[in-house]
Amino acid sequence: MAQKGIELILARQLASYLAMPIFIVDAAGTLVYYNEPAERILGRRFDETGEMLAAEWATVFVPTDDAGQPIPPERVPLMIAHAERRPAHVHFWIRGLDHVARRIEATALPLVGSGGRYVGALAAFWETPAP
C-alpha cells in the first residue's frame, strides 16, 4: 500500500474506522481494500481475498438488477466512478462470496488528489430491503 500514494493510505485508514461498508480501488481500478463492515456483505474477509483486478471484482460479486438480470460491469457504481471520474449511485443485488444474495445501494466517488491527479475511487454501500 505504501507505493499507492498518501491519498489511498488515508482513505484506507479512514475506512478502517467507519461502520459504513467501504470498498476502495486504486487508479488502475485494482481493489486495494474493503473494511470489516463490507466483509459481512461481501461474504469474505479482505485478508482472504486480497487485491483484485477490476475485471475480477466487477463480476465476482455477481451484480444483478431487481429482475435478476446481470448488470454489466460498466453500470456498477464503482466502475462508473473509476472509468468516468464522476459520482454514481445505484441499487442492485450482489451475491457475496458466501453465496448469499443481498440487495444493496452503493454510492461511489472518484478520488482526486492534489493537482487534479486521479488516485482511485471508493464506494460506500449498505443493505436495503427488497422492493
Here the cell at position 93 is: 443485488
Triad 123, 126, 4: Cα angle to 5°? 25
Structural domain containing residue 84:
2-127
Strand partners, 7: none
- Does residue 105 carry a pLDDT above 60? yes
What does the alpha-carbon distance between residue 67 and residue 92 come to, in Å, rounded to a whole number? 10
Average pLDDT value for residue range 111-124: 94
Residue 103: which CATH number?
3.30.450.20
CB atoms within 10 A of CB 74: 10
Residue-wise pLDDT tens digits, 43-62: 999 999 999 998 888 778 88
Report the alpha-carbon distance of residue 126 to residue 39 in Å, rounded. 12
Q: Are residues 104 and 94 in contact, defined by beta-carbon separation less than 8 angstroms? A: yes
CA distance 92 to 79: 14
- Confidence band of 5 (pLDDT split at 50, 70, 90): confident
Number of domains in the chain: 1
pLDDT interval class at 131 (50, 70, 90): confident
